[in-house]
């Protein structure tokens, strides 16, 4: 008799109601590389309503026809669409400039035409600000002045999607949050951190709360430490001036990796809805132990890459000041002061110009206390580790100790490894940006960032940034050759 289990999945995708997606920054890199291809993917997989359309906005003097010709270089026509139904053939371009209020009236006129022609009732509007941070507030003010953010019809929503960064420190983050709430309700703001839509990051909650084997061991009794890390082989990728003002702590750790930490460490939410998950995340980040002068000196390492492996050093990059103290590598140790995680160290690390391109979460369990093996053999056994890979090859790996072929006590590591691509039953599943666009149209905040958690994260890291700035001798900037494993240090032990 066969006891083989059939592979089953529970998967439902919902098609949003008709919507007009208004993209600001129509000629920008994000629109070309991510937003338009993602809309095309949703269209190809029948996840966009047939009456959904796109209005692209920018300061360049395109006509609708010339913009369609321009954007077609980056987004091929959806293979299943005919000329009448493909959203790419129905794009409208509207020149907008926040300093010219009349251009926003032109946008309002186009939206009114869409509302009256396409459906019997007003359409939902998603305003996506794919623009530099300096342009965000003036665009929102212009939208508000033109009354485009007002929900005058109870059956039609107005959503605002904005990209990180959300401030550069605590003061600026609070100021931005206050400004946003003057113009639009929190429930209509979709703050985008694309890491949250990656398959592995979405899978954190499923792994934790849909598997009984992890329920009773996801705490300080069984877990020795947790590592969350990302390494990039690339350097500044053309963002030289921006990155030099930002640094890696702001660019990667304060947002991407802290969001991952909250999902890994938070208490079970009251339900699976977005509000309950965000409450659990906020409760967790409020329990992270603040950094002191001592813990900043002994528990945080910052460094900057120098020339090596035929690559230029950071100070040799274009537009980088010769005396720049901007960090391209950060490693830190933090603790969470609650019962679940007492005395468990969390190691968070990110670096540019490293020797590998990978991102992962490692949950390292304590060694077994019930081992009846000899002391010598017990010392050779490695701890069980659960690794969630974000890149490359998104997937999961579990390391156990098991008998190998050979002598009775031939014990060693046994690795169970799978990728999501191997397991996928739906090759048309939305990628990260397609998922975020779809969820923003579905009024689902689960994979977006809330203002309250952003503020708490800045409360944690602003003192670190100030200490580095005001007392660099006490918190030195180390160095490491480009293309290496990073600086020599150890936060463990």
Q: What residues act catalytically? A: 256
Partner residues linked to 229 by β-bridges: 349, 360
- Say if residues 390 and 360 touch (Cβ distance below 8 Å): yes
- Say if residues 335 and 288 touch (Cβ distance below 8 Å): yes
The span from the CA of 39 to the CA of 21, in Å, is 10
Partner residues linked to 41 by β-bridges: none
Burial degree of 400 (CB within 10 A; 0-12, 13-18, 19+): exposed
Partner residues linked to 329 by β-bridges: 303, 351
- Say if residues 60 and 95 touch (Cβ distance below 8 Å): yes
Partner residues linked to 93 by β-bridges: 56
Provide φ and ψ at 394, rounded to 5°.
Answer: -45, 130
The span from the CA of 333 to the CA of 356, in Å, is 22
The span from the CA of 66 to the CA of 85, in Å, is 20
Instruction: Give the long-range contacts of residues 215-219, CB within 8 A, separation 24 or more.
Output: 217/365, 218/340, 219/340, 219/341
């Amino acid at each position: 008799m066969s006891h083989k289990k059939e592979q089953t999945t529970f998967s439902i995708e919902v098609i949003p109601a008709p919507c007009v997606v208004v993209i600001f920054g129509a000629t920008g890199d994000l629109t070309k590389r991510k937003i338009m291809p993602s809309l095309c993917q949703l269209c190809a997989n029948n996840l966009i309503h047939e009456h959904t359309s796109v209005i692209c906005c920018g300061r360049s003097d395109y006509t609708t026809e010339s913009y369609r010709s321009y954007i077609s270089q980056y987004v091929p026509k959806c293979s299943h669409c005919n000329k009448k139904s493909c959203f790419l053939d129905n794009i409208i371009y509207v020149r907008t400039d926040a300093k010219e209020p009349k251009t926003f009236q032109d946008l309002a006129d186009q939206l009114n035409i869409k509302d009256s022609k396409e459906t019997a009732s007003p359409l939902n509007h998603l305003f996506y600000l794919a623009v530099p941070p300096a342009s965000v507030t003036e665009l929102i003010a212009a939208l508000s002045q033109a009354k485009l953010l007002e929900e005058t019809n109870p059956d039609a929503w107005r959503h605002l999607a904005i990209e990180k960064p959300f401030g550069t420190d605590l003061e600026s983050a609070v100021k931005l949050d206050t400004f946003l709430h003057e113009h639009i309700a929190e429930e209509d703001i979709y703050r985008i951190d694309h890491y949250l839509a990656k398959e592995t990051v979405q899978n954190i909650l499923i792994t934790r709360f849909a598997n009984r084997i992890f329920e009773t061991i996801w705490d300080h009794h069984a877990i020795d430490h947790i590592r969350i890390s990302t390494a990039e082989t690339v350097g500044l990728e053309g963002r030289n001036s921006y990155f030099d003002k930002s640094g890696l702590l702001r660019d990667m750790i304060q947002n991407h990796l802290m969001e991952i930490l909250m999902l890994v460490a938070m208490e079970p939410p009251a339900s699976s809805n977005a509000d309950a998950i965000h409450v659990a995340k906020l409760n967790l980040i409020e329990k992270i132990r603040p950094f002191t002068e001592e813990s900043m000196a002994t528990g945080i390492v910052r460094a900057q890459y120098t020339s090596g492996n035929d690559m230029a050093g950071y100070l040799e990059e274009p537009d980088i000041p010769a005396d720049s103290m901007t960090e391209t590598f950060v490693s830190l140790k933090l603790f969470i002061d609650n019962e679940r995680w007492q005395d468990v160290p969390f190691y968070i690390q990110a670096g540019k110009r490293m020797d590998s391109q990978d991102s992962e979460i490692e949950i390292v369990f304590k060694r077994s206390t019930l081992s009846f093996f000899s002391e010598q053999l017990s010392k050779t056994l490695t701890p069980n580790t659960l690794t969630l890979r974000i890149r490359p090859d998104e997937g999961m790996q579990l390391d156990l100790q098991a008998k190998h072929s050979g002598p009775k006590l031939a014990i060693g590591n046994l690795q169970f490894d799978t990728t999501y691509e191997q397991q996928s039953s739906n090759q048309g599943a939305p990628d990260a940006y397609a998922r975020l666009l779809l969820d923003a149209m579905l009024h689902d905040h689960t994979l977006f960032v809330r203002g309250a958690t952003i503020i708490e994260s800045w409360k944690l890291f602003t003192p670190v940034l100030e200490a580095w700035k005001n007392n660099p001798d006490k918190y030195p900037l180390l160095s490491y050759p480009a293309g290496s494993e990073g600086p020599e240090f150890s936060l463990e032990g």
